[in-house]
Structure 1
Amino acid sequence: MVVATHAIAFRVEALTSPDRDRAVDALRAIAILGVVLGHWLVTALVFGDGPVHGASPLRSLPLLTPVSWVFQTLAVFFLVGGQVAATGWSRHPMSYEDWLANRLKRLFRPVLVVLAGWAVMAGFLLATGVSPETVRTLVALVLSPLWFLLVFAALTAATPWVVRLHPVIPLAVVMTVDLLRLGWDAPAWVGWINLAAGWLVPFTLGTRWRTVPRGMLWTLLLGGVTATALLVCWAGYPAAMVGVPGAGFSNLAPPSLAAVTFGVAQCGLAGLLRDPLRRLMRRPALWTVVVVINLFAMTIFLWHQTAMIAVTVLMRLSVGPLPGLHTSPDSGVWVAARVGWLPLFGVALALCCTAARRLRG
């Protein structure tokens, strides 16, 4: 077994192009793992006398807020996406239409499998007597992360123009929008301008990621951390960098200035980690893990909530209410139990990924 594993690792190493920037793949793997673990740690399904509803331990246990700082890695996704899109556009031998169609096909084809699967599942659950409220909770848990793909696709489509855009411009838009909606009581819809402008900041940074000097990377990291701390401590922005059900104002819906400055800090840190990651990825075993995660990246993103739901429901039906799975996330016992369930979620996700890839052919 060990010999076979080593053989696979060295084969992957041999098949890797010498000029491939392994730091980009490593950052993408880190980002996807951050999203998955973050969702699994701060998302709970509570089973009671009524319909199943979603909850978050961040609302009852504010001491867990730093978890959202570690696992909210969306800016890294957009940073890597901008770098890959800009590189691909600069090298493409085809028309803009063909280039865009090729990228969007790879982005959205796996989504069709998720939508079809959950359409069937929702119909089955309703037919077996599950309440519409419970079905709505489960479907929303799976489909709500898909907003990311729509924004990512829009920014990707704009790559030929984004490469000419300075990151300060979308950052200024975010600042203006937050001033209007939070300081001058502008209509709520104004805030949704930040859905594009906010994530355009790391995306534009990604388009010039290869040329940003080390000194500027330190400026991004320290400036982003300082700005975020000031906004949270003195401007009233929430400390949690993810949405908390029932908490009202969210840093992500739509992206706030605090979420964007936090993302800027992440981009600076990612840039500073480029060289260490490149050296680390020279180890065949670690590089193989990163290659596998990248190979399944979209499938992991699309199916990780389904894996959590599957474990939660199956354990409820076969065993009964269990802490960390079915109870309210309002104690340290729930947190400890949830951490213990993570390996089983991982096994379920591996099965989901295998089944999804076979369905796609």
Structure 2
Amino acid sequence: MGRLRRLADATPPSRNRYVDLLRALAIILVVLGHWTVTAIGHDAAGQPTGRSALPDLSWAYPLTWAFQVMPVFFLVGGYANAASLTAHRSRGGDATGWLLGRSARLLRPTTVLIIVLATAALVARVLGADPSLIRTVVWSATIPVWFLAAYLAVVPLTPLMYGLHRRYGLRVPVVLAFLVAVGDLGRLLGSDASALSNYLFGWLAVHQLGFAWYDVHAEGLRPPGAGGRAAPTPDAPPAPRGDPGGPPPSVRSAGLRSPRLPLSRRAGWTAMLGGTAVTVLLTGPGPYPVTMINVPGEPLNNAAPPSLALLAVATAQVGLIVLLRGPAGRWLRRDRPWMAVIAVNSVVLTVFLWHLSATILLIGALDAVGLLPTPAAGSAAWLAWRIPWVLMLTVILAALVAVFGPVEARTGRPPAAESAGGAPWRPALTVAGFTAVVFALVDNAVVAPTDAEPLGLPVPALVAYLAGAGILRLLRSGWGSRG
């Protein structure tokens, strides 16, 4: 509590606390969503199994419009990336240094997960466990990294996409949404491959809205006609770990000659009601499924890859975020709520990465002592079991976060991230490192969960991940920064 109190007291007045709250709430909703829809059973060999109960809960499909919060992650990510990139450049840094700095916070907790799971898989194999079973367990534990793969593909494009935003503003996400619609049309005509680009275009569209939100707040910090440092206000952009609390002198929002993101209450209501209405049309008479979380058997998936319907939901969510920002901002001026938000954000990625591992550990423990309940999904017994189930999972996840959370909490901005220049091959090697990591996470996601993998993860994926993360770690240490 003492550390949280010191961090809360040190928060600059310019920090946009609402952005931090959204990130924390999104994580909590993802965790609760995954936990509450879990259905447990046994396979033919008597082994415990887990699956999503959503296919049996069609009445809950509209609820996924609220629990599908990946758009919120990318909105907040766009805001934070624009803020940190602007601050980094104001200190003389380049895009390569910025990318290396961002990779530290994202990959250190992920690397811990990968190494722990691979080590546990190796121990299990030595003890005689079936490689197919090992793969199933590890695949289930690494389900959260599919989101990280998409995000790590978007982050290296931030310098380019933010430049496009500065020139064209909201026209960029409109074009990206159109490209998503083209990909959807290809899916409807029977070509699933034509929509693979939606994995990038869909999330980039929401990420661009985060840029627009940042620029509006950055401009709001500048007195009219001022050319120097902006005066801090309660609506200033956030200070990501290692970044200042407000925009640096280099922020030039006043020079942005393009449509800005409207943040009035009228705009909020328009976005929320309009996005909801479009979603209803697309999922009612339209061809899209109601659920925004993938369900086996549906003709289309809204989240993998992102669809036009998911972008409509994202629009409604942005509208709600705009409507709530005033009351939320005032609430976050109180010490206790803000300290809670700080606590969650200090380990936010750790919570996300390990919450399904907590589920696997609890299922194994209850099965080992013969107390694993397997009521039918959607039954009264299954619904009643949700409360003790979530409480037990919370305890296990808290223990995992206590062990692995300090890795994330101690991650700051590496010294090399501040320097510009260096060897001419550093940018290419940085991109290669990101590419290897993204390939590894995607490869792990697409390889069947029943394949015999003694280390749990496919060997090419494991090698590519360790190579990519190792390259980025070496570059962060300063290698090649002086040519």
TM-score by length of 2: 0.68
Q: Which structure's CA Rg is the greater one? A: 2
**Distance (Å, rounded) in 1 between the aligned partners of 2:403 and 2:297:** 35
Change (3 A) 1:78 1:60: same
Q: What per-residue deviation string (whole Å, max 9, x for no partner) do you get for residues 281-338 of structure 1?
A: 0111111111100001010011111111111111111233314xxx552423213202
> Aligned AA for 1:26?
L
Q: Is the contact made by 1:59 and 1:247 (CA closer than 8 Å) also made in structure 2?
A: no
Look up the match of 1:348: 396
The size of the alignment, in residue pairs, is 351
Q: In the alignment, is residue 88 of structure 1 matched against residue 92 of structure 2?
A: no
Q: Aligned partners of 2:407, 2:43: CA distance in 1, in Å?
A: 35
Which one-letter code corresponds to 1:109 in the other structure?
R
Q: Is the 8 A contact 1:83 1:209 kept in 2?
A: yes
Determine the C-alpha separation between the residues in 1 that align with 2:372 and 2:396: 19
Q: Which residue of 2 aligns with 1:198?
A: 202
Alignment-mate amino acid for residue 373 of structure 2: L
1:21 aligned to 2:16? yes
Report the Cα distance in structure 2 between the residues aligned to 1:19 and 1:64, rounded to whole angstroms: 40
One-letter amino acid matched to 1:42: V
- Larger deviation, residues 337-346 vs 109-118: 337-346
Please tell me the residue identity of whatever aligns with 1:174: V
Q: Judging changes above 3 Å, is the alpha-carbon distance between structure 1 residues 246 and 143 closer, same or farther for their aligned structure 2 residues?
A: farther
Match of 2:317 in 1: 266
The alpha carbon displacement at 1:239 in A equals 1.2
- Matched residue type, 1:63: W
- Whole-angstrom CA distance in 2 between matches of 1:98 and 1:133: 41
What is the alpha-carbon distance in structure 1 between the residues aligned to residue 285 and residue 128 of structure 2?
A: 50
Residue aligning to 2:352? 301
- Does the CA contact (< 8 Å) of 1:300 and 1:353 recur in 2? yes
* Partner residue, 1:179: 185
1:184-228, Cα deviation, whole Å (9 max, x unpaired): 32x321111110111112111010114222243333222211111
**2:72 paired with 1:76:** yes
Counterpart Cα distance in 2 of 1:10 and 1:143: 34
CA distance in structure 2 between the aligned counterparts of 1:49 and 1:320, rounded to whole angstroms: 19
Q: Distance in 2 between matches of 1:202 and 1:144?
A: 22
CA distance in 2, matches of 1:332, 1:250: 29
Partners of 2:289 and 2:298 within 8 A in 1:
no
Is the 2:48–2:363 Cα contact (8 Å) retained in structure 1? Answer: no
**Cα distance between partner residues in 1 of 2:378 and 2:75:** 35
Structure 1 107/55 Cα, relative in aligned 2: closer, same or farther at 3 Å?
A: same
Q: Structure 1: how far apart are the matches of 2:373 and 2:271?
A: 44
Q: 1:43 to 1:223 in 2, by over 3 A?
A: same
What are the ranges of 5 or more consecutive residues in structure 2 without an aligned counterpart? Answer: 166-171, 217-260, 411-483
In the alignment, the residues of structure 2 paired with residue 206 and residue 359 of structure 1 have an alpha-carbon distance, to the nearest angstrom, of 27
Q: Which amino acid aligns with 1:335?
A: L
Q: Say yes or no: does 1:228 pair with 2:234.
A: no
- TM-score, with structure 1 as normaliser: 0.90
The answer to whether the 8 A contact 1:76-1:270 is kept is no
1:18-57 correspondence runs (5 A): 18-50=13-45, 51-57=47-53
> What do residues 35-79 of structure 1 show as CA deviations (whole Å, max 9, x unaligned)?
111111123342243354442221112122234223211111000
Measured in 1, the distance between the counterparts of 2:12 and 2:349 equals 22
Matched, 1:124 2:123: yes
> Alpha-carbon deviation of 1:133?
4.0
Q: Counterpart amino acid of 1:65?
A: Y
Aligned to 1:216: 267
Given that residues 198 and 256 in structure 1 are in contact (C-alpha distance below 8 angstroms), is that contact kept between their aligned partners in structure 2?
Answer: yes
- The aligned residue for residue 107 of structure 1 is 106
Q: Which residue of structure 1 lines up, in the alignment, with residue 331 of structure 2?
A: 280
Q: Which one-letter code corresponds to 1:68 in the other structure? A: T
Task: Report the AA paired with residue 114 of structure 2.
Answer: L
**Partner AA of 2:58 in structure 1:** P
For 2:363, the equivalent position in structure 1 comes to 312
**Aligned-partner Cα distance in 2 for 1:246–1:133:** 25
Work out the CA distance in 1 between the residues paired with 2:392 and 2:288. 35
* Matched AA of 2:194: V
How far the C-alpha of 1:277 sits from its partner, in A, is 1.2
Q: How does 1:158-173 map to 2 (within 5 A)?
A: 158-163=157-162, 164-165=164-165, 166-173=172-179
Q: Distance in 1 between matches of 2:194 and 2:81?
A: 28
Aligned partner (choices 47, 60, 63) of residue 64 of structure 1 = 60
Contact 2:48/2:367 (8 A) holds in 1: no
Identity of aligned residues (%): 36
SS at match of 1:149: helix
Distance in 2 of aligned mates of 1:135 and 1:332 = 33
User: Which structure has more helix as a fraction of its residues?
Assistant: 1
Unaligned runs of 5+ in 1: none
Q: Tell me if 1:337 matches 2:385.
A: yes
Range moving further from structure 2, 58-67 or 107-116: 58-67
Name whichever of 43-52 and 145-154 sits farther off: 43-52
Q: Secondary structure at the match of 1:298?
A: helix
Distance 1:335 1:121, change over 3 A: farther
Cα distance, 1:265 vs structure 2? 1.2
Q: Distance in 1 between matches of 2:339 and 2:311?
A: 32
2-structure distance, mates of 1:53, 1:234? 36
Query: How much does 1:10 deviate?
Result: 4.8
